[in-house]
Structure 1
Amino acid sequence: MGFPLKALLILAAPIIVVSWAVMIAINTITVSYAVLPVFRHFDDPDVLAERRAHFANVAPRDTLDNLMWFMQITDLHINEYEEPERIAQLQEFCSVVVDAVRPSVVLASGDLTDAKRRTSFSSGQNEQEWRDYARVLRESRVTEKTVWLDIRGNHDTFNVPSHDSKMNYFRTHASRGNFTSYHYVHRYGANSVSFIAMDATPDPGFRRPFNFFGIITEQQMEELHRFADDAKSSNVTIWFGHYPTSYISSPPPGISHTMRGAVAYLSGHLHTLGGLAPELYALQKSGTLELELGDWKANRLFRIAAIDHDLMSFADYEFNQWPIVLVTNPKNVRFYAPVHEPLDRIARSTHIRVLAFSPHGIHSVQILLPDATTYQTATRVRSSSPLFTLPWDASRYAIGSHTLTVRVEDSAGNIREIVQEFATRDAQVPGFSLLRRLILMGDVGRFFETLCFGMVLGNCVMLWLLGTAAWRWVAQWARGWTEWRLVREISCVVRLEWLFWVLNWCSVYPVMLPWFFGEIVEGEYGVAFSFGIWMRRQWLQGQMTYMFAVTHLLLHILPLTCCSILYARARLRQGGRWRWTHGFYHAWFAGILLLELLNLKIIGDSYGAISVPTNGLLLWSGVVPTVFLWYKCWRLGTDSRSETRKKSPLSKNDE
């Protein structure tokens, strides 16, 4: 193992240990919500008995009764400057796709526009983008064909001082612009579905980058509680919003508790995490499914969902991929919600039920049962209906889980095959992956907050262990280790007073002192800290500051600490003489400095020129200390090396 790697391990060890210890200790409760058992029960026995008595004569059959379907689209990001086909294809979606599917409701769950400037990192509402959005709705006449329920995302509130501001173009151009959060009840036959729209965008809407997390205030929570109470009279309740619950800060006991009566919460915002997580689904501890949908912006994704006899099914599709197929009975075993759904209806059903859509028309729907070797043709319920059914005996599949295959061909020759696992009575239902549960069920804001403090504490512990009298204990501990000489040399370098105090200053500044003074929203100034923004004579909470601080620590403070110590040691060991390896350290310093200057430009573009000279985070504890340490390390020579060795309690005899 080479010297640089050994030295980095010595420097990084206390930082990693302390930061993760702090983070795990504080987040124990939060993480426990996400680390659920791999298997969950098929149904709650007490609830099952009650439902059997109440719905004894209701089960999926070969009729259109007790069936409705809807769609969701999210993260449209209509942009005036880039990818004009995004708007054209959105209009095609509102025309061709909606006409073919004929949903009762379409949910547009935020980030309707992009709100980013063309030539800089700054952000703000662009009325032309909102005109384009309104034009798509108007020219496609989609609001005449279905109920279009839209809501704001974080991009829709960039640089919006308040909901009543003239900059809030959602209010004047959106379908539901008169509302923030709202409750819509859709009735079909004797049934009803409650759709609760949750607007968790911050008020005021900061410019980016500090507008990424959602916030629910006490007043908003009371309103959402009323909506949840009103929705109890509906057969099924669906919540939707822009942010996943893990990205929303809300008063205790939390927004997940408030929506505990819903069968599902539908969201967007994460854009499939850049393709790393195309399917982000989880089952909340309350029994509510949380289903994040990938974006329209880059992936052209949308969702088709159905409520069939109070059982919710859904599938996500790419634009212009036909036919669209959704098996509503038996529903996919992965998405059973035993607390909220009458799953016993699957066992009492008489028919398999499939929704199939295509603008070309459906040619055939064929179904392969688990114990069959040949496909059977399903029958269309009505001539114009998208529902196809096939008789079956559900009692044959009472034990365990089984696989159903559906093959659909449209009149244009397009074929789609769906393989779906189901269960009717007693089964162990596999849960969602740990990573997906952590992303959707953890508290992401708290994660970054504790990681930030843990990293700062870890870096300071490392500096104080090696740079004060505590180094003697470190040296005694390291004597039995083959690399104890390296620990001793690093300790000698850290004890240089100018290096020790400058690195401590850089480490503690992000969590203790003001970051900058700037124009947070147009015409209104504030002071940014790690724990919030002071503006309008009040603290405006936001977790994005902690995420930014963690990024700053990872990309600047920790690399600066390692680079300064290692370069200073190299200069001292070589008596100030030039070595070709010193070029590596100069390149390292230059990279750190350029990155800080880039971040400083981003903040200046976003929050005005005043945020540059007042920027304590990036300028006075970033750029200036980097230049100072770079110069001081470069000027270290033989005299400094000798002086440092004299100060060290370790003599040659100790070696």
Structure 2
Amino acid sequence: MPEVEWLAGSWLSPQPAPVRRLRMLRVFSMLVATGLLLACLTAYVLENYTVQPAFTEGSGGGHPRAEQPPYPGRAMDNIFWFLQVSDLHISRFIDPQRTPDFKKFCTETIDVIKPAIVFATGDLTDAKTKNRIGSVQHEVEWQTYQATLKQSRVLEKTKWIDIKGNHDAFNIPSLKSINNYYRKYSAHRQDGSFHYVHQTNFGNYSFICADATPSPGPKRPFNFFGFLNQNKMDELSKLASETVCSNQTIWLGHYTTSTIISASPGIQKVMSSAIAYLCGHLHTLGGLMPVLHSRNEQGTLELELADWMDNRKYRLLAFDHDLFSFVDLKFDKWPAVLITNPKSALYSSPRHEPLGKIKHSTHIRVLAFSPSQITSVLVSIDGIALGNAVHIEGPFFSIAWKAEDYSKGTHYIEVQVQDIAGRITVSGHSFAVEEIKLLPFDIMASFILLARHHIMARVLFILVFLANVIIIVAFRYRRKPQLKESSGVFTLTIFSFHVLCKTNIFYYPVLLFTCYVAVGPWFVGEVIDGQFGACFVFGIVVDGHFFEGSLSFIFGIFQLTLFNIPLMCYLCWCLLLRCRGACFRSHIKYTGWIRTVPMHIFIVVLFMWQVYSCYFLLITYGTAAFFLSPVRTWSVPLALVLVYKAWTLNNSSIRMFKAEMKNCTYS
């Protein structure tokens, strides 16, 4: 190969000092630029997700009614409570106990708690195929959901508001499609965002339900992120303006704000007038994060609720004199207890609620629920018992206290509730009577809930992609290292990259395949049944709609780090052994079993992961997508051909490299 031999001559030729200095300057500049980019990214994360906004009650951001009566007292006044349940995943294939438990929730739990409203925040049905890979709307699952609501007569007992989740939008070509069973079987039955006003004799309370599900709805997994285009954001802004006369406002949705791609000014800013945003979707991240609560920069609480599907969780919430309190509960665990005054300091929001009413309150106020009669509600503060709270009415208990005795710092209130069946529940939290700096939330929970993950994934993908391409191109045109009689592993590794990048049969396929991951369609197929579309790393095109890339960037990172880059490194390793004079049958004597076997096992595992990705593509998006997938399906034979060539190629370039390594000792 004359071209390779000519390049080889250029590598061996001495480089002038100015050229060496220029190359060193370029490398140094690249390192500085990369370091600055990483520093900026780190600073951004630390600034936005480790430091809570320093709101205080007296800092000018306090609530205008903080000092105005009425104040929390002995009577059950100015209070109402409601429930949230999320991620029901009614399924025809798995967990047969899920639906009976949900029916019991709609009967016994609702009968005991008697909430003013129940919000079901998405993923009402599972919408998966029997193998758990594909996605399809099963009408029987929706019929089961509706039958449960009707048989339990829960719609007659309370206001039931259900909103869509991503599973409820799987594989739906349009909102008018007959497969959009939400319109037929849900309690709300209307697509889109809406504003519900709960009216009481002490004021109105606004609940804005934000629908971020994509339309049309792609098959899984590419609707894990929600989308709010400019029209939907304008609609939400209009709904937000309708809440100015309400005592309090709460937003609800299925997706966390970190998994919503929203147009300007962003979903978190639009909901800034709300005290809290209630959502689900993340399912405690498989048990790794059982509590996902935080507060955004505008002071709005973001409270993700663990799923009903596996964890059987639900949430009890209350407004008591416009003070917001809540507790996450386990289904069928009684008594259920919620302390409404004094409220938790961690979940305080001076800009949204009148915290000053706590210091003017005359009584500690508790809601206690149980199917059996409550026998005692023992209250203590800082370990000192105050006595039993008095039953006033329904689930409401209160006990007198002097708030001024706890005016400094934070204190811990604990309530022990026992019912006649002998069941005991202990609930408590830290509280503050006077203004304090807000307590910080868990940094990991804040990062998961508040970070713009689609932007971070995009930046990380670009960095990984550029690093991969720069390495390939740089080794193509840089001079190779001079081998000595005893070269170290690092020198030999660098040499192996030169062998790969300066051999055309490997250089061009590896470079072009890496570039294709970033610019070409990964597959073309039925993104929605009956509708062909194309999936790129930067987004999905289907039926004239474009959905911005989100989860696709994460898959792109996996593709590069778990296939492209390992394949390139494995080819370098094989070529290095070839240059040492080894073939596939004899290469073990050059490296030994301890090094060789783990290397082959590692590559086989990654290769099988790529094969499984092809199978996943076939099951999820059909035969056409399987055969029209350069990134997945076509990459498998490409990898096999390149590995075969690495062990069998014996052209002039390989012979030249062999000659250079003849006197080198592999160490």
Taking structure 2 as the reference length, what is the TM-score of the superposition? 0.89
Pairing partner for 2:432 from 405, 411, 423: 423
Q: 1:7 aligns to what?
A: none
- What displacement does 1:560 show? 1.7
Q: Tell me the secondary structure at the aligned position of residue 376 of structure 1.
A: strand
Structure 1 CA distance for aligned equivalents of residues 652 and 604 of structure 2: 26
- Say whether residues 1:493 and 2:505 are aligned partners: no
Structure 2 CA distance for aligned equivalents of residues 220 and 343 of structure 1: 33
Cα 1:18–1:471 change in 2 (3 A) is farther
Cα 1:58–1:375 change in 2 (3 A) is closer
1:333–1:429 contact (8 Å) kept in structure 2: yes
Structure 2 unaligned blocks of 5 or more: 1-26
2:580–2:658 contact (8 Å) kept in structure 1: no
| Greater displacement, 128-137 / 514-523 | 514-523
- What displacement does 1:482 show? 6.7
- Say whether residues 1:450 and 2:496 are aligned partners: no
Structure 1 CA distance for aligned equivalents of residues 146 and 44 of structure 2: 41
Cα 1:359–1:596 change in 2 (3 A) is same
- Say whether residues 1:348 and 2:355 are aligned partners: no
- What displacement does 1:242 show? 0.4
RMSD: 2.9
Q: 1:373 aligns to what?
A: 384
- What displacement does 1:554 show? 2.8
Q: 2:147 aligns to what?
A: 135
Matches within 5 A, 1:159-558: 159-370=171-382, 373-382=384-393, 385-465=394-474, 467-471=475-479, 475=481, 484-495=490-501, 496-558=503-565
Structure 2 CA distance for aligned equivalents of residues 486 and 328 of structure 1: 68
Structure 2 CA distance for aligned equivalents of residues 111 and 20 of structure 1: 41
Amino acid at match of 1:301: K
| Greater displacement, 529-538 / 121-130 | 529-538
| Greater displacement, 104-113 / 625-634 | 625-634
| Greater displacement, 32-41 / 249-258 | 32-41
Q: 1:611 aligns to what?
A: 625
Q: Tell me the secondary structure at the aligned position of residue 284 of structure 2.
A: helix
% identical equivalent positions: 35
Structure 1 CA distance for aligned equivalents of residues 174 and 37 of structure 2: 35
Cα 1:32–1:218 change in 2 (3 A) is farther
1:564–1:629 contact (8 Å) kept in structure 2: yes
Structure 2 CA distance for aligned equivalents of residues 74 and 197 of structure 1: 13
Q: Tell me the secondary structure at the aligned position of residue 620 of structure 2.
A: helix
Q: 2:20 aligns to what?
A: none
Structure 2 CA distance for aligned equivalents of residues 485 and 600 of structure 1: 37
- What displacement does 1:410 show? 1.2
Structure 2 CA distance for aligned equivalents of residues 152 and 18 of structure 1: 47
Q: 1:9 aligns to what?
A: none
1:282–1:437 contact (8 Å) kept in structure 2: yes
- What displacement does 1:86 show? 0.4
Structure 2 CA distance for aligned equivalents of residues 502 and 155 of structure 1: 39
Matches within 5 A, 1:101-112: 101-112=113-124
- What displacement does 1:447 show? 1.3
2:52–2:295 contact (8 Å) kept in structure 1: no
- Say whether residues 1:592 and 2:606 are aligned partners: yes
| Greater displacement, 423-432 / 94-103 | 423-432
Structure 1 CA distance for aligned equivalents of residues 370 and 78 of structure 2: 23
1:19–1:457 contact (8 Å) kept in structure 2: no
Count of residues in correspondence between the two structures:
630
1:72–1:303 contact (8 Å) kept in structure 2: yes
Taking structure 1 as the reference length, what is the TM-score of the superposition? 0.90
Could you list the per-position Cα deviations for residues 379-428 of structure 1 after superposition, in whole angstroms to 9, with x for gaps in the alignment?
0112xx11111111111111110111111111111111123100011333
1:589–1:630 contact (8 Å) kept in structure 2: no
- What displacement does 1:501 show? 2.4
- What displacement does 1:436 show? 1.3
| Greater displacement, 126-135 / 360-369 | 360-369
Cα 1:38–1:61 change in 2 (3 A) is same
Cα 1:625–1:578 change in 2 (3 A) is same
Structure 2 CA distance for aligned equivalents of residues 504 and 562 of structure 1: 13
Pairing partner for 2:656 from 619, 628, 643: 643
2:196–2:207 contact (8 Å) kept in structure 1: yes
2:52–2:297 contact (8 Å) kept in structure 1: no
Could you list the per-position Cα deviations for residues 146-178 of structure 1 after superposition, in whole angstroms to 9, with x for gaps in the alignment?
111100000001101121211100000000012
Q: Tell me the secondary structure at the aligned position of residue 381 of structure 1.
A: strand
Structure 1 CA distance for aligned equivalents of residues 615 and 145 of structure 2: 31
Cα 1:483–1:578 change in 2 (3 A) is closer
Q: Tell me the secondary structure at the aligned position of residue 233 of structure 1.
A: coil
Could you list the per-position Cα deviations for residues 346-389 of structure 1 after superposition, in whole angstroms to 9, with x for gaps in the alignment?
1111111111111112111010123x63351000112xx11111
Structure 2 CA distance for aligned equivalents of residues 644 and 323 of structure 1: 77
Matches within 5 A, 1:110-125: 110-119=122-131, 121-125=133-137
Could you list the per-position Cα deviations for residues 520-578 of structure 1 after superposition, in whole angstroms to 9, with x for gaps in the alignment?
11211111111112222342324122122222223222222222222332343253223
Structure 2 CA distance for aligned equivalents of residues 531 and 351 of structure 1: 57
Could you list the per-position Cα deviations for residues 567-593 of structure 1 after superposition, in whole angstroms to 9, with x for gaps in the alignment?
332343253223145444443443233
Structure 1 unaligned blocks of 5 or more: 1-12
Could you list the per-position Cα deviations for residues 582-628 of structure 1 after superposition, in whole angstroms to 9, with x for gaps in the alignment?
444443443233222211121122212111111011123x2122111
1:533–1:539 contact (8 Å) kept in structure 2: yes
Structure 1 CA distance for aligned equivalents of residues 367 and 572 of structure 2: 65
Amino acid at match of 2:614: L
- What displacement does 1:100 show? 0.9
Amino acid at match of 2:189: G
2:496–2:575 contact (8 Å) kept in structure 1: no
Q: Tell me the secondary structure at the aligned position of residue 112 of structure 1.
A: coil
Q: 1:6 aligns to what?
A: none
Amino acid at match of 1:450: V
Q: 2:643 aligns to what?
A: 630
Cα 1:133–1:353 change in 2 (3 A) is same
- What displacement does 1:460 show? 1.6
Q: Tell me the secondary structure at the aligned position of residue 526 of structure 2.
A: strand
- What displacement does 1:296 show? 0.7
2:163–2:211 contact (8 Å) kept in structure 1: yes
Could you list the per-position Cα deviations for residues 25-52 of structure 1 after superposition, in whole angstroms to 9, with x for gaps in the alignment?
7857963663342573432433448434
Amino acid at match of 1:380: H
Structure 1 CA distance for aligned equivalents of residues 59 and 491 of structure 2: 66
Structure 2 CA distance for aligned equivalents of residues 502 and 73 of structure 1: 51
Could you list the per-position Cα deviations for residues 424-478 of structure 1 after superposition, in whole angstroms to 9, with x for gaps in the alignment?
113333211221111111101111111111111111222233x223355xx59x9
Structure 2 CA distance for aligned equivalents of residues 547 and 22 of structure 1: 23
Structure 1 CA distance for aligned equivalents of residues 104 and 543 of structure 2: 44
Amino acid at match of 1:167: N
- What displacement does 1:187 show? 1.2
Amino acid at match of 1:468: R
Cα 1:272–1:507 change in 2 (3 A) is same
